[in-house]
């Protein structure tokens, strides 16, 4: 499950960093983190998590 989450979360974080980069080039790291964290966590909880649970149900709960 960890590897699956990393595969889905890494591109989201990377894309958000690139999207914020032109606006936040002069910002301190903690400012960027403060803006990106709520967006990233919301996407993971409400979009990525449910999609992974739906599509990887066979892996998460194997039928005996």
- DSSP code, position 61: S
Angle at 17 between CA 56 and CA 47, to 5 degrees: 30
Which residue reads 């998590």 in tokens?
Answer: 49
Answer yes or no: is 40 within a domain. yes
Answer yes or no: is 53 within a domain. yes
- DSSP code, position 47: I
Q: Indicate the number of domains in the chain.
A: 1
Predicted confidence (pLDDT) at residue 10 exceeds the cutoff of 80: yes
- pLDDT above 90: percentage of residues in the chain: 62
Write out the residue range of the structural domain in which residue 37 sits: 1-8+33-57
Residue 56 — very low, low, confident or very high, per pLDDT cuts 50/70/90? confident
Tell me, what's the pLDDT at 55? 87
Residue 59 — very low, low, confident or very high, per pLDDT cuts 50/70/90? confident
> How far is the C-alpha of 43 from the C-alpha of 61, rounded, in Å?
23
């Amino acid at each position: 499950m960890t590897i699956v989450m990393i595969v889905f979360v890494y591109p989201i974080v990377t894309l958000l960093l690139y999207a914020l980069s032109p606006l936040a080039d002069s910002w301190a790291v903690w400012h960027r983190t403060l803006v990106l964290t709520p967006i990233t966590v919301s996407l993971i909880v409400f979009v990525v998590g449910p999609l992974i649970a739906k599509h990887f149900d066979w892996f998460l709960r194997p039928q005996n």
